[in-house]
Amino acid sequence: MTSLIKHVTIDSLDPYRLASFWSEVLGQPLHEDDFPGDPQALIQAAGLLFVTVPEKKAGKNRIHFDIQPQEHTRDEEVERLVGIGATLVDDRRREDGTGWVVLADIEGNEFCVERSQAERGN
């Protein structure tokens, strides 16, 4: 017998606010039953469940997302994400156009922005 991962659960001080950020990043809606102040929020299409915890994030993530832009270049996507509240953590772009950018979401969770498929030539 096997199992499947139903959700990736992310601890948060404000699940609705953090889920709303990721909803905008991914272009996927929050679940229709989620509202500000709820103890959890779900982006069902992405399988991301945000739950309330009392403490702030401490230390480096043990798991993180690598996102790949679908409609923009990597650099355009980094600019868009910083515009909606992400912060630059580490710039790993190389002169030849390869590499990635490490950003943090509005609660400090790191994630990487890779090159789009078009930029990879695939």
Phi, psi of 86 (to 5 degrees): -70, 155
pTM strictly above 0.95: no
What is the per-residue pLDDT across 85-109, written as a single tens digit (0 to 9) for each? 999 999 999 999 999 999 999 999 9
Structure tokens at 30: 């929050």
Q: Residue 37 region, left (φ>0) first, then alpha (ψ -120 to 50), else beta? A: left
The contacts of residue 3 (CB under 8 Å, 6+ apart) are none
From the first residue on, what is the mean pLDDT of each consecutive set of 10 residues in the chain (122 residues)?
93 97 98 97 97 91 94 97 98 96 97 95 74
pLDDT of residue 122: 65
Pair of tokens at residue 42: 């779900």
Q: Which amino acid appears at position 10 of this protein? A: I
Reported as half-sphere exposure (CB side, CA atoms, 13 A), residue 100 has a value of 13
Per-residue pLDDT, 61 = 87
